[in-house]
Amino acid sequence: MSAWRHRLAAAGWAGARALLRVLPARALRAFLTECARNPAMTDRAGFHVRRMGFSEPIPDVRALNGRDFESPRWTHGLDWRDAAQEALVRQIAGRAAELDALEAEAAPFRFDNGFYGGADAAALYLLLREMKPRRLVEVGSGFSTLVAQAALRRNARDGALATEHVCLDPYPNERTAGVSDAVRFLKTPAEDAPEDVFLALRAGDVLFVDSSHVLWPFGDVPRLVLDILPRLRSGVWVHFHDIFLPWDYPRAWAIRERRIWTEQYLIEAFLSGNPHWEIALALHRRHRAEGAPLRAAGLRDGVGHAPCAFWMRRKETATP
C-alpha cells in the first residue's frame, strides 16, 4: 500500500474513533440496530453486527469479568491419565538434546514465534521422532509444518521408512515454501476434504489439527470431531492446538479480544466417558502441574506462548 493510502486509512480510523466518541448513544444504537437488521449490508464490509442476547454465540463479556479464569473447570467425564502423561514426557525427553538444533533445521521457525512454538513445538518434534509415523495429515500449515518436516528428515537419516505428509490448507503459509517438495498440499478446507485422506491413517499415524477453533454449521471442527474421529482406526494419534483444558480459554481472549472459541468444549464432550479414546498429553495441564515438569524435561516450556497442544489417541483395543 502506498504512503498516501496509509495516511488516508489512518485518517479514516481516527475519524471513525472520533465519531464514536461524540455520537449520542441513542443514535449509535439506531445505527447498529439497522446494521443488525440488514446483515447483507455489513457483510460487504466483512463485519457481523449482532445485538447482545442470551442466545447469541458471542456472550456479553461484561458478565464474564467476575468469572474465575484462573481455576480449572470441572471435567467429571475425563480420565486425565496424569501418570501416563508424565511417563510420556520422560520418554520423549530422552531426545531433548536434539532441540538445540531445531531452529536451524526448521528455519525460519523459532521457539519464540508466538504461533506454534515453545513446548508445543518441542513435543511435536519429539513425538514424531518417537513414533515415526507412516502418515501425517495436518489440518492447517505453518511453523508446525516446518517442525514436523525437521523430525521426519531426522527419522529418515536414522533409517526409518518414509512418511507421507499431507497438509489441508486453502491458503498455505508462505513460510512453508521451503518444504513444498516434501509435503503434499491440498488446497481444500477440512470440512470439504475427501474422507479417505483421514481414514487411511493407521496405528501410529498422526492427525494434526490446528484449524478454525469454532463450531459453525458445516464447519471444520464439527466435521473432524463428530464425523472423522469416531471412524479413525485404533492407535491413531490426534493433536489439537489451543486447548487449555481443564481451564477455560484465557481471560484476555474472551474479554479484550472477543475471541470466543468453542472447540475445546466439543473435544471435552467427545472424550467424556468415551471408552475408545484416551488423553495422551495435555500440555497446558502439564505446564501448570507442580514442579514445572515440561521445563524440567527440557521441552522449552517458558519460551514463547504458554503451551496448549493437546494429544489424544484411539485405544488399541477399540474397534472403529
Judge if 212 and 261 occupy the same domain.
yes
Q: Which among 12, 35, 51 is the end of a domain?
A: 51
Confidence class for position 38, pLDDT limits 50, 70, 90: confident
State yes or no: pLDDT of 275 exceeds 60.
Answer: yes
Is the same domain home to 137 and 265? Answer: yes
Distance CA 89, CA 258 (A): 34
Burial 243-278 (b: 16+ CB within 10 A, else e): bbbbbbbbeebbeeeeebbebbebbbebbeebeebb
Query: To the nearest whole number, what is the mean pLDDT of the chain?
Result: 92
18 grid coordinates: 472520533
Domain shared by 128 and 11, yes or no: no
* 282 located within any domain: yes
Same domain, 184 and 223: yes
Residue 231, domain member (yes or no): yes
Average the pLDDT over 147-158 and give the result: 98
pLDDT at 5: 61
Predicted pLDDT at 55: 87
- Per-residue pLDDT of 213-237, as tens digits, reads 999 999 999 999 999 999 999 999 9
State the DSSP H helix or E strand holding residue 116, giving kind and residue range, or none if neither.
none
Rounded Cα distance between 129 and 165, Å, is: 14
Structural domain span for residue 117? 82-314
Element (H, E) at 136: strand 135-139
**Distance (Å, rounded) from C-alpha 266 to C-alpha 243?**
11
Residue 302 backbone zone (phi > 0: left; psi -120 to 50: alpha; other: beta): left
Angle at CA 216, nearest 5°, toward 210 and 222? 60
Residue 318 confidence (pLDDT): 45
Q: Is 205 helix (H, G, I), strand (E, B) or coil?
A: coil
CATH code, 144: 3.40.50.150
Average pLDDT over residues 101-106: 97
Secondary structure of residue 127 in the 3-state scheme: helix
Question: Is residue 320 in some structural domain?
Answer: no
Same domain, yes or no, for 206 and 281? yes
Predicted pLDDT at 12 = 67
Q: With respect to residue 69, please indicate whether it lies within any of the assigned structural domains.
A: no
Q: Are residues 190 and 109 in the same domain?
A: yes
Helix ranges (H only) for the chain are 3-22, 25-37, 39-43, 82-92, 102-105, 118-131, 143-157, 195-199, 220-222, 251-255, 263-271, 283-287, 293-296
126 and 233 share a domain? yes
Query: Cell 463485519, residue?
Result: 47
What is the rounded CA–CA span in Å between residue 320 and residue 318? 6
Q: Return the SS3 of 119.
A: helix
Beta strands in 182-276 (DSSP E): 184-186, 206-209, 237-240
**CA atoms of 266 and 142, how far apart (whole Å):** 24
Give the model confidence (pLDDT) of 162-211 as tens digits.
Answer: 999 999 999 988 899 999 899 999 999 999 999 999 999 999 999 999 99
Q: In this prediction, what percent of the chain has a pLDDT beyond 90?
A: 72
Q: In this predicted model, what pLDDT tens digit does every residue of 48-96 receive, in sequence order?
A: 888 888 888 888 888 898 899 999 999 999 999 999 999 999 999 999 9
Q: Do residues 129 and 35 both lie within one domain?
A: no
- Distance (Å, whole) CA 48 – CA 60: 15
pLDDT at 271 over 50: yes
Q: What is the pTM of this model?
A: 0.92
> pLDDT-derived band of residue 39, with 50, 70 and 90 as boundaries?
confident
214 and 91 assigned to the same domain: yes
Q: How high is the pLDDT of residue 2?
A: 62
Query: What is the spatial distance between Cα 188 and Cα 176, in angstroms, rounded to a whole number?
Result: 16
Confirm whether 96 is domain-assigned. yes
How much is the pLDDT for 74?
93
Q: Do 201 and 182 meet the contact criterion of CB atoms below 8 Å apart?
A: no
239 with 233: CB under 8 angstroms?
no
249 and 189 share one domain: yes
Distances (CA, A) of 119 to 79, 80, 98, 278: 22, 19, 14, 21
Give the model's pLDDT for residue 4: 56
- Kindly indicate the confidence band of residue 27, based on its pLDDT and cuts at 50, 70 and 90: confident
Query: DSSP state, 228?
Result: I
CA distance 113 to 192: 30
Query: Would the pLDDT of 158 be above 60?
Result: yes
**How much is the pLDDT for 292?**
87
Total domains in the fold of the chain: 2
Q: Do 38 and 93 fall into the same domain? A: no
**Same structural domain for residues 46 and 156?**
no
For residue 255, how many C-alpha atoms fall within 13 Å in the half-sphere facing its CB? Answer: 12
Secondary structure of the chain: what % helix, strand, coil (to 5)?
45, 10, 45
282: β partners: 310
